[in-house]
């Protein structure tokens, strides 16, 4: 059973390719002069580019039952790698910030202890010789 009675597979393929070769803005006018509706052209394009035309399959009258998985482009892969590298750098820097904050707290405590110890010590007694006592 052909995809469209009255048209061969070769004619359908040529028709779809001819439509896509039309310049932008002129496809509608070109299609209006052809014996095929826009809906039929859409079905034919799906069959040609989906590989169904070569296998002799007739597309369903509804939507596709499954959606083919989309392959990631090189740009998407590079952006994902950049995001992963950025996340690793953020984690590394966050760990370093925590380490420096802990060091700062420890030094603050040590300084506080040194101040407390210097306040507790008695003031040194002056060792001066008094000339009136001799």
Q: Assess whether pLDDT exceeds 90 at residue 2.
A: no
Q: Assess whether pLDDT exceeds 60 at residue 117.
A: yes
* Six-digit token string for 133: 């006592």
| pLDDT tens, position by position, 57-116 | 665 655 556 666 777 788 888 999 999 999 999 999 999 999 999 999 999 999 999 998
CA nearest 21: which of 7, 56, 104, 13? 13
| pLDDT tens, position by position, 3-27 | 677 788 888 889 899 998 999 999 9
Q: Which residue has the tokens 């996340």?
A: 87
Alpha carbons 24 and 50: distance in angstroms, whole number: 23
What's this model's pTM, rounded to 2 decimal places?
0.42
Spans of all domains in the chain: 9-55, 71-120
């Amino acid at each position: 059973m052909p995809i469209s009675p009255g048209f061969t597979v070769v004619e359908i393929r040529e028709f779809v390719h001819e439509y896509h070769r039309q310049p932008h803005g002129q496809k509608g006018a070109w299609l209006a002069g052809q014996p095929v509706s826009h809906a039929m052209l859409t079905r034919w394009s799906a069959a040609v580019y989906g590989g169904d035309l070569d296998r002799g399959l007739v597309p369903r009258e509804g939507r596709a039952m499954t959606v083919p998985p989309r392959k990631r482009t090189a740009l998407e892969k590079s952006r994902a790698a950049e995001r992963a590298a950025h996340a690793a750098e953020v984690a590394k820097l966050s760990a370093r910030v925590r380490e420096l904050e802990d060091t700062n707290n420890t030094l603050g405590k040590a300084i506080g202890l040194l101040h407390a110890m210097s306040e507790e010590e008695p003031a040194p007694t002056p060792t001066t010789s008094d000339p009136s006592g001799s």
